[in-house]
Amino acid sequence: MGVDRAGVLDENHITLNPNQRQRLLITCKHIDKLLEDIEGTMNASASRSVFPGYTPDVTPQQRKTIEGYIARIRQQLLQILATQSLAPEGPHISASHAIHVGLTFVEIAIAELAPRYMRGYGPISQEGAADLDAIVTELQSAVKELHRYMLQPDSGGHHGIGQEPANREMGEEPTAGFSGEKQ
């Protein structure tokens, strides 16, 4: 192994060439991503999604066991990388930025529900156009509120995280008719 008895990396014990080491690093990263997908599946099955993709058939005990195995596999990945004097890179993208980008795509999807875009699927009656406009307005209101919240700087200079929207500070509900829960 590339680690001596004192737990110090031994640079002279690297047994793989640079290309093989790069492949090892990339494969370990891929395995970690697959494990993240498994965690995402467990989280998605427990979420309150309007369009769930998974049935919630993992018991709390099974979830705990799966999470334990995932943690153990990740620890093994780190140990394997250490044997070749490799380490995973740190994150490059902030979570708040990723949320901001995701909300931008949500806003685009909502805008594409407007009558001028939906006409591509066939004629729209005046009543249908009015319904679509109302749908777009309602959805945009809640998403824009969340987007504004994410863009507000907090006391540490970060955006949005940790601050409540202005109407929450006054003890009001978020947007009228929006409680954040399925109805």
The secondary structure of the chain, three-state, reads CCECCCCCECHHHCCCCHHHHHHHHHHHHHHHHHHHHHHHHHHHHHCCCCCCCCCCCCCHHHHHHHHHHHHHHHHHHHHHHHHCCCCCCCCCCCHHHHHHHHHHHHHHHHHCCCHHHHHHHCCCCHHHHHHHHHHHHHHHHHHHHHHHHHHCECCCCCECCCCCCHHHHCCCCCCCCCCCCCC
| 41 occurs within a structural domain | yes
**Residue 160: per-residue pLDDT:** 54
pTM of the model: 0.69
Give yes or no: residues 119 and 69 share one domain.
no
**C-alpha–C-alpha distance, residues 60 and 132, integer Å:** 41
Give yes or no: residues 66 and 118 share one domain.
no
Q: Is 91 exposed, middle or buried (0-12, 13-18, 19+ CB in 10 A)?
A: exposed
**Residue 181: per-residue pLDDT:** 38
| 119 occurs within a structural domain | yes
Cβ 139 vs Cβ 108: under 8 Å: no
- Please report, in tens digits, the pLDDT of each residue of the chain (183 residues total): 444 444 455 566 799 999 999 999 999 999 999 999 999 999 888 788 899 888 889 999 999 999 999 999 999 999 999 999 999 989 999 998 899 999 999 999 999 999 999 999 999 999 999 999 999 999 999 999 998 888 887 745 555 554 444 444 444 444 434 334 333
Query: Residue 141 is part of which domain span?
Result: 95-169
Domain boundary at 19, 54, 83, which? 83
Number of other CB atoms surrounding residue 156 within 10 Å: 7
Give yes or no: residues 119 and 75 share one domain.
no
What is the domain count for the chain?
Answer: 2
**Residue 40: per-residue pLDDT:** 93
Token output for 155: 């006391």
| 19 occurs within a structural domain | yes
